[in-house]
Amino acid sequence: MASVVITGGSGFLGTRLARVLLSEGELRLAGGEVEPVSQATLMDRVPAAGDLAADPRVAVVSGDLADVVGPGGQGRRALAEADLVFHLAAAVSAECEADFDLGMRANLQATQALLQACRELGRFPVLVFASSLAVFGRSDDHPLPDVIDDETLPNPQSSYGTQKFICEQLLADFTRKGFLRGRAVRLLTVSVRPGKPNAAASGFLSGIIREPLAGQRATCPVDPGTEVALVSPRKAIDALLRAATSSDRSWGGPTAVTLPALTMTVAEMVAALERVAGPQVSSLIDWVPDPQIARIVTSWPARVRAGRAIRLGLTPDEDFDSVIRMHISETGSAPGTVPPRH
Amino acid sequence: MASVVITGGSGFLGTRLARVLLSEGELRLAGGEVEPVSQATLMDRVPAAGDLAADPRVAVVSGDLADVVGPGGQGRRALAEADLVFHLAAAVSAECEADFDLGMRANLQATQALLQACRELGRFPVLVFASSLAVFGRSDDHPLPDVIDDETLPNPQSSYGTQKFICEQLLADFTRKGFLRGRAVRLLTVSVRPGKPNAAASGFLSGIIREPLAGQRATCPVDPGTEVALVSPRKAIDALLRAATSSDRSWGGPTAVTLPALTMTVAEMVAALERVAGPQVSSLIDWVPDPQIARIVTSWPARVRAGRAIRLGLTPDEDFDSVIRMHISETGSAPGTVPPRH
């Protein structure tokens, strides 16, 4: 029997992850025996998806993470029983840049509270932490290599990236001390992310696909030549599950694993949209530069030599056309004209 | 007029730094005009040295750092007037390894409180942070290069090193956001450190020199062939002052600067002691392996390519014989026989 906690369990990735876990119904935790998923506790400030809330295996804990996992919090019991914790809850990049205190509270303090709760409760769960490529940053006084790898020194250029990197370090030390078994996965920009726009600086990298496919105009705030590192929702979930199911030995240590990237320019993304959905869809993009967003996004690396992830069997998406088609088929987006799939 | 705060102002480095600042009496802060040192506030849990407490320019604030700089704390006024803060207060490596909560409180939370106080008080002081080579670590799953440099990925293998590295990241982000002007200096093992033994894992690297010179036996817990990276007290103070006085441009960004090292084996240190003070002194060392201490010390790098520090004009100590002689002359240690100095 495996009991799972998902923080940010009502978010896009948390919801998708919960659905996959519950539909598969079993899990080989950290390379051990295959066990049924007996309970999934979703912790979030906002309500869980209806299908999940209706599942008898699902419990929902509502509130700020630091409160619900802190002393006396209503999430303590679930955590005390958890074999596996996915820590996905976070404030996103642009909102942390606009509101420094929010980021420190939602990303750093909440993570500290979660780690401390795991330590106090003494079950030593596997804790999969969704870190981010935003730990890396290029700046005037510190250029990044063109291709980053597992040994590249992060130099975060946003408070969000700094907070994620600090949480990686805390997770590694809690792991080294034996308080839990941490696995940090650096997600790339997930595209195409379904749903409503959010306050991530990278949000437009889904918006410029998702909104036109829904017949709405979208704004691209960066130059078409901007290179970005993408991962599809499916590959992002694959990576989180690989982190949970790998043995300690194959995972290879408490430092973070950066995912393999599909590297594209924004212009190439739009060309893929045009191929898949036609020019009347891709023409719904307005190019309106936003220096604040551009500064954050262009500080991130776009090319990744993801040695450790590749050794774990993780692969990048093969092409963006298929990613767009996956989004259409999953969300029922109905573009004006979808050419036949070859 | 320059007003200075020193946290850990009663410690060995804090005391030495205060004496240098007050005897020089003036300071070129961050490459600006030369200004007289009008006030030095020493913050520490333990009383300040008598000569410092008697100086009319010195104020002493006693208590835990997080308390004295927190809301309503008695250190707030000094911080509100400070042009320059040296943040040296810390719990040391072996005590943080033995007491995880102590390290999190004394190193991480206290530093967060200090940074937050600087931000709230709005004077944007230059804040020189004493970080440590202990941010680096070799482990079975993550070897270190033989020679580390400014681009080497830290991989701390102690809670102390983790906390120092996290504070470097916070300092860099507070600097990027314009809340203060942070300069992080990664000190090496300071030897010969005068005074009583402390709970640093590296403490023996002073003890095996200091105690025999005082006619007392000392214990060396590591293999004689262990290589270590050393800096003398004088060079360590030079580096902290260089951090305070460099212009933003010459300092070169908010990431930490690793000091140039005098790299030696412990056997070579003992040979130097024998050359300077005679075999009857160096024979006072007992070789008693301590795996806990050895694990921490051998996880640190010993060889440093300190490009940024060298460009700042910082240099390693030339040889350890002179460092021992400096210690003897400063502390009045009277070894049985000191050969003539050539």
pLDDT for A66-78, tens place per residue?
A: 999 999 999 999 9
Distance CA A264, CA A282 (A): 16
- Please give the share of chain B, as a percent, with pLDDT higher than 90: 92
Closest approach of B262 to chain A, Cα-based (Å): 25
Residues A64-116 pLDDT 10s: 999 999 999 999 999 999 999 999 999 998 999 999 999 999 999 999 999 99
The answer to whether B272 contacts chain A (CB < 8 Å) is no
Distance CA A137, CA A143 (A): 8
Helix (H, G, I), strand (E, B) or coil at A302: coil
Helix (H, G, I), strand (E, B) or coil at A79: helix
Mean pLDDT of B181-209: 95
pLDDT band at B336 (very low <50, low <70, confident <90, very high): low
Q: What is the pLDDT of residue A199?
A: 85
Angle between helices B204-213 and B320-331 (to 10 degrees): 60
Mean pLDDT of B145-154: 94
Mean pLDDT of B206-210: 97
Is the Cβ pair A169, B159 closer than 8 Å? Answer: no
Q: Tokens for B90?
A: 């810390």
pLDDT band at A302 (very low <50, low <70, confident <90, very high): very high
Q: Which domains are present in chain B?
A: 2-189+231-258 (3.40.50.720), 204-228+261-302+317-331 (3.90.25.10)
Mean pLDDT of A36-61: 97
Residues A198-251 pLDDT 10s: 888 999 999 999 999 999 999 999 999 999 999 999 999 999 999 999 999 999
The answer to whether A253 contacts chain B (CB < 8 Å) is yes
Distance CA A128, CA A168 (A): 11
Nearest to B4 by CA among B104, B66, B81, B112: B81
Is the Cβ pair B169, A165 closer than 8 Å? Answer: yes
Helix (H, G, I), strand (E, B) or coil at B274: helix
**Amino acid symbol at B340:** P
Backbone φ and ψ of A64, nearest 5°: -70, 140
Q: Say which of A152, A162, A255 has its CB closest to residue B173.
A: A162
**Amino acid symbol at A168:** E
Is the Cβ pair A159, B173 closer than 8 Å? Answer: yes
Per-residue pLDDT at B337 exceeds 80: no
The answer to whether B298 contacts chain A (CB < 8 Å) is no
Asked whether B338 and B281 are in contact (CB, 8 A), the reply is: no
Distance CA B229, CA A183 (A): 32
Asked whether A90 and A109 are in contact (CB, 8 A), the reply is: no
H or E segment to which residue B60 belongs: strand B58-62
pLDDT band at A339 (very low <50, low <70, confident <90, very high): very low
Closest approach of A153 to chain B, Cα-based (Å): 5
Per-residue pLDDT at B289 exceeds 60: yes
The answer to whether B155 contacts chain A (CB < 8 Å) is yes
Distance CA B271, CA A256 (A): 42
The set of residues, in sequence order, having a beta carbon less than 8 Å from that of A23 and lying 6+ positions away, is none
Mean pLDDT of B106-129: 96
Per-residue pLDDT at B339 exceeds 70: no
Distance CA A195, CA B201 (A): 52
Per-residue pLDDT at A337 exceeds 60: no
What residues of chain A lie within 8 A of the CB of B255, using their CB? Answer: 142, 155
Confirm whether A160 is a catalytic residue: yes
- Could you tell me where the beta strands, DSSP code E, fall in chain A? 2-7, 26-28, 34-44, 58-62, 84-87, 126-132, 147-149, 181-187, 189-190, 218-220, 227-231, 257-258, 262-265, 285-287, 303-305
Q: What is the residue whose two structure tokens read 């990431």?
A: B255
Distance CA A224, CA A269 (A): 9
Asked whether B180 and B118 are in contact (CB, 8 A), the reply is: yes
What residues of chain A lie within 8 A of the CB of B165, using their CB? Answer: 169
Mean pLDDT of A170-184: 97
A255 CA to centre of own chain: 17
The answer to whether A162 contacts chain B (CB < 8 Å) is yes
Tell me whether the omega of the peptide bond preceding residue B192 falls within 30 degrees of 0, making it cis.
yes
User: Least CA distance to B174: which residue of chain A?
Assistant: A159
Distance CA B19, CA A339 (A): 78
Nearest to B297 by CA among B213, B225, B194: B225
The answer to whether A155 contacts chain B (CB < 8 Å) is yes
The answer to whether A153 contacts chain B (CB < 8 Å) is yes
**pLDDT, mean over chain A:** 95
Is the Cβ pair B177, A157 closer than 8 Å? Answer: no
Asked whether A323 and A317 are in contact (CB, 8 A), the reply is: yes
Per-residue pLDDT at A41 exceeds 80: yes
Per-residue pLDDT at B338 exceeds 80: no
Per-residue pLDDT at A29 exceeds 90: yes
The answer to whether B253 contacts chain A (CB < 8 Å) is yes
Distance CA A142, CA A31 (A): 39
Q: Say which of B142, B173, B176 has its CB closest to residue A255.
A: B142
Asked whether A170 and A114 are in contact (CB, 8 A), the reply is: no
Is the Cβ pair B162, A172 closer than 8 Å? Answer: yes
Is the Cβ pair B141, A172 closer than 8 Å? Answer: no
Tell me whether the omega of the peptide bond preceding residue A192 falls within 30 degrees of 0, making it cis.
yes
Closest approach of A216 to chain B, Cα-based (Å): 36
Q: What is the pLDDT of residue B255?
A: 93
Per-residue pLDDT at B141 exceeds 90: no
The answer to whether A191 contacts chain B (CB < 8 Å) is no
Q: What is the pLDDT of residue B120?
A: 95
From the candidates A86, A129, A160, A251, which is the catalytic residue? Answer: A160
Cβ-Cβ pairs closer than 8 A, A with B, add up to 49
pLDDT band at A143 (very low <50, low <70, confident <90, very high): confident
Best mutation target, B162, B247, B250, B251, to test chain A (most A CBs within 10 A): B162
pLDDT band at A140 (very low <50, low <70, confident <90, very high): confident
pTM of the complete model: 0.95
**C-alpha angle with apex B145: B142 to B148, nearest 5 degrees?**
120
- Please give the share of chain A, as a percent, with pLDDT higher than 70: 97
Mean pLDDT of B161-185: 98
The answer to whether A109 contacts chain B (CB < 8 Å) is no
The set of residues, in sequence order, having a beta carbon less than 8 Å from that of A178 and lying 6+ positions away, is A124
Best mutation target, B173, B174, B179, B247, to test chain A (most A CBs within 10 A): B173
The set of residues, in sequence order, having a beta carbon less than 8 Å from that of A58 and lying 6+ positions away, is A18, A22, A39, A40, A41, A42, A48, A52
Nearest to A136 by CA among B171, B136, B153, B33: B153
Is the Cβ pair A170, B152 closer than 8 Å? Answer: no
Per-residue pLDDT at B59 exceeds 60: yes
Q: What is the pLDDT of residue A336?
A: 52
Q: What is the pLDDT of residue B334?
A: 64
User: Least CA distance to A153: which residue of chain B?
Assistant: B153
Distance CA B236, CA B130 (A): 10
Q: What is the pLDDT of residue B335?
A: 59
Q: What is the residue whose two structure tokens read 């020493």?
A: B42
What residues of chain B lie within 8 A of the CB of A246, using their CB? Answer: none
Q: What is the pLDDT of residue A341?
A: 45
User: Which residues of B are known to be catalytic?
Assistant: 160
Per DSSP, A32 falls in state S
Helix (H, G, I), strand (E, B) or coil at A71: coil
Give the residues across from B142 on adjacent strands.
B139
Q: What is the pLDDT of residue A335?
A: 59
Angle between helices B159-176 and B110-121 (to 10 degrees): 10
Helix (H, G, I), strand (E, B) or coil at B246: coil
The answer to whether A178 contacts chain B (CB < 8 Å) is no
B159 CA to centre of own chain: 17
Mean pLDDT of B65-71: 96
User: Least CA distance to A150: which residue of chain B?
Assistant: B153
What residues of chain B lie within 8 A of the CB of A139, using their CB? Answer: 253
User: How many other CB atoms are there within 10 angstroms of residue A240's CB atom?
Assistant: 24
Q: What is the pLDDT of residue B342?
A: 45
